[in-house]
Amino acid sequence: MTAVVALIGVVQPDVIAVTNFDYDADGLALSAFQRLLDENGVMLPFAYAPRPNSGRPSGTDIDQDERLGEPEDAVGYGRFWGDGGVAVSSRWPIDLEKSSEDTETLWADVSNASLPDMIDAHLLGALPVSTSAHVHAWIDGPDGPFAILTSASTAPVFDGPEDRNGYRNAAELALWREMIADIEVPFVLAFNANLDPNDGEGHHQKMLEFLASPNLIETEPQSNGGLENADPSHAGDPALDTVDWDGPTPGNLRVSYVLPSVDWSVLGAGVFWPGRDDVDTALVEAVGPHRLVWAEVSLKRD
């Protein structure tokens, strides 16, 4: 956590979405996190972190190993209900009455989403599709309200030839497509899609189609570190990668995204992954394999 806070202190965001953040009912962990940020010169006093699906008992043997109650059998992978949730912290007030999360939409009810070809697919279709939560945080910004949207999707691996997790990952992306079509304020979708448009496992075409959505701006954030650590076997642009996993499989991939709606002008974007000789390289490596993705935006004027 110390390295994470120090890295955020270098970037100095006005709003940040954090995934894999454990939930507790009293918000004690999140409050402690905000205090650490404040001590490091990052004032993000407002936060929203709903209870996620990760660790939520499903009552279904999802991995079909004839054992119930394992982390793999939760609605979203987790050792306890709230293990690895999502949180939004902001410099500006978050309207908690207008903020919301979708943890209940069923897989079978997501438009343009498919279930895997397996005998018990109907059991999966009757479960919530969101691994964590599809979070909509309403922020009262200085130039008007806007929304930060975030989630952390199932990785399209750790399954069998039926591609259960690959189909679920694609369904979670399809749910976002439904949700952003109905949002009436400017928004930024900052999420871990766990899906690269070109490399690794998963339904790549779904990600390519999503990035081409007419109501989103594909910022194409890049880094020197990604470029320097390129996997030669990969088809995608390594400068766009956001995670440094051991290779060649899965290797470095682009799995995290910051996608503003078309209501914004993009002033800059990038992945905080410095080159080998940069002073912040050791700090980034101490945080773990995932890299921070950022965008600087301003609302367009009528």
pLDDT, one tens digit per residue, over 127-161 is 999 999 999 999 999 999 999 999 999 999 999 99
Rg (CA), the chain: 19
Query: Which amino acid, 115?
Result: L
| Residue from 78, 110, 99, 94 nearest 206 by CA | 110
On the 0-12 / 13-18 / 19+ scale of CB atoms within 10 A, 228 is: middle
Confidence check: pLDDT of 302 > 80: no
| 11 three-class SS | helix
Q: What local confidence, expressed as pLDDT, does residue 64 receive? A: 85
Percent of the chain with pLDDT over 70: 100
- Cite the DSSP H helix spans in the chain: 2-11, 28-39, 121-125, 164-180, 204-211, 224-228, 281-287
Q: What local confidence, expressed as pLDDT, does residue 63 receive? A: 87
For residue range 93-102, what is the model confidence (pLDDT) as tens digits? 999 999 999 9
For residue range 207-237, what is the model confidence (pLDDT) as tens digits? 999 999 999 999 999 999 999 999 999 999 9
Query: Which amino acid, 187?
Result: F
- pLDDT tier, 301 (very low <50, low <70, confident <90, very high otherwise): confident
Q: How far apart are CA 302 and CA 9, in angstroms?
A: 34
* Domains of the chain, CATH where assigned: 2-219+257-268+288-299 (3.60.10)
Residues 282-300: what's their mean pLDDT?
A: 96
Residues 192-203: what's their mean pLDDT?
A: 98
Q: What local confidence, expressed as pLDDT, does residue 34 receive? A: 96
